[in-house]
Amino acid sequence: MNRDIVLLRTVEVAAIASYKYIGKKDKDLVDQAAVEAFEVMLKNEKGFKLKVVNGEGELDQAPMLFVGQILGDLEDPSVMTYDVSVDPVEGTHPAAYNFAGSIATIAFSKENTMLQLPEMYMEKLFVSTDFIDQIDLSKGIISCIEEMQKHANRKDLKCIILDKPRHKEVIEKMNEMGIIVRLIQDGDVLAAIDVVNGDADFVYGIGGAPEGSLMASLAISSGCKMQSKLIRYEEVWPNEQETKLRKDKEKAWLDKYNLDFDSILDDFDLVADKSARFFAAGLTAGGSLKPVDYKDGKFYVNAFMSSHGMVRNIDSVYDIEKVNVLKPEIKFLFDKYKR
């Protein structure tokens, strides 16, 4: 089967499996359902292998697809292997409490083109195709915004940003500059999809570094642009007891991955492949992506994919009775995770 269709179906079924636990206040159950869906959907596929370069759950011991795990055709050594960054549920907290901000997502590129990123904080700026030549994060976010406003010849650009204390000052400054600020609680990857779909001009903020690989793949595959920089834990949480321990971890991670806190990382520094692809499906979703829904024996899933500058927003219907007959491996998931 076509590899892109396989991965599109994988994120869709992961969203369907996790649907059982929406609003149940247990983010590990949400994540575990999606992880199992990924493994079930990919374990019998032929013709390609996927190597997990950036997984999830390493710090909080959540159910996870671990770094180095191989998915796909494990029997044929001659098939091509691709790098993947994966988050079976990006936004487990909003999914567990049933508010906007969660998706199932995966991105892939040619083997040995994805940079492995540590479980650290990262400053990220993701801009639409209109502003790919106007940003230079080394000059700071305010300078980038001023250049984008000059280029657009208007002040009222739309920004999506995580509503966190660490962003208080920049949010206030953007409001003063005339930027229309949309605050979100979780999900900067989902926010970047909104930029691609034209619902905002840029996403900015400090969030998780591994998600940066997903956003870089999205930028490359859609024709947008992203820049980023690793951030010290103590800059975000200066007074926490964990800060000293994190300093030692961060030093070890930087040495291991040959990274630093000073370099501006372009999207191609994170994913060095023009043919990178990105896939996502809405769980509780929000913005331009709709949440998964169920009615009368059918699941309704809104998915997204991008490659080579082509963007697709896809509505799919999974008729449980028909799918169970034609795809018994999915029947197992539908039976286990029916609500």
- 282 labelled ligand-binding: no
In the structure, how many helices (H) and strands (E) does the chain have?
Answer: 12, 14
- 266 labelled ligand-binding: no
- Encoding tokens for residue 227? 């820049």
- 210 labelled ligand-binding: no
- 92 labelled ligand-binding: yes
Burial per residue of 282-291, b for 16 or more beta-carbon CB atoms within 10 angstroms, e otherwise: bbbbbbbbbb
- 243 labelled ligand-binding: no
- 164 labelled ligand-binding: yes
| Composition of the chain by helix, strand, coil, percent to 5 | 40, 30, 30
- 335 labelled ligand-binding: no
295: Cβ contacts below 8 Å, ≥ 6 apart: none
Torsion of CA 95, 33, 208, 198, to 10 degrees: -60
- 31 labelled ligand-binding: yes
- 208 labelled ligand-binding: yes
- 10 labelled ligand-binding: no
- 201 labelled ligand-binding: no
- 188 labelled ligand-binding: yes
- 166 labelled ligand-binding: yes
Spatial separation of the C-alpha atoms in residues 125 and 265, rounded to whole Å = 11
Detail the residues annotated as belonging to a binding site for substrate: 90-92, 121, 164-166, 186-188, 208
Query: Annotated binding site, which residues?
Result: 31, 56, 87, 90-92, 121, 164-166, 186-188, 208, 211
Binding residues for Mn(2+): 31, 56, 87, 90, 211
